[in-house]
Structure 1
Amino acid sequence: MFLISSLILMIISIMMILMIIANYISMKTFKDREKSSPFECGFDPKNSARLPFSIHFFLIALIFLIFDVEITLIIPFIYSMKYSNIMIISIMFFMFMAILILGLYHEWKQGALNWSL
């Protein structure tokens, strides 16, 4: 019984010593606190949350998401050309690309891609 209690006491003391050493080594300064704060979409988390949101950032993010999803839809077209009628798949692919290009042209004409303030 004495052996078990001495082992438990030794384990607890080693654990406490390691925790104190780790806490002392990892002392954080004010600059480190600024580095580890969250950074979300250019907003400072220490300021007010009711700041006006940049519509340009939103439109560019939306266009990126649209084209990212469209790329995932284009890849099966390429793989299906091996197993299907190449003429039908090519027509579908070019129609799909035409819709994408027309959408990009529309966004460009609407001014969503202009970054002038």
Structure 2
Amino acid sequence: MCGLCAALGGSRYWTDAAGSDAFTRNGGKVTLRAERERRVAFLNRVLDHYGLTVHDWGGNSYVLSDRRGRRENVYNLEGIWSLVDRMAATDCDPLDPALLSRLGGAS
């Protein structure tokens, strides 16, 4: 996707639930901004385990960064995970016991 299309809102992805009647929170529709804030917060909990962070960029894309200062722009969750596989210092395993322990709040 070109940068202009993303800037004009063409970056909606199938995982974006905001505005859909099927997805509400406490009786009110989930806004795109609230959904992205929650998504970024959760992603950062996972990505911290691999030395990475993600930030929302203008509500249309994400910026994935590592501790060495490398940054990549990506438009959806699929793109984030593809970049994580390339940028992480180690293989990303969603069933890694250390990651699951960290996400579960255990030390």
The TM-score bracket by the shorter chain reads under 0.3
Q: Which fold has the larger relative contact order, with Cα–Cα distance below 8 Å and residues 6 or more apart in sequence?
A: 1
Indicate the structure with greater helix content: 1
So what's the TM-score if we normalise by structure 2? 0.22
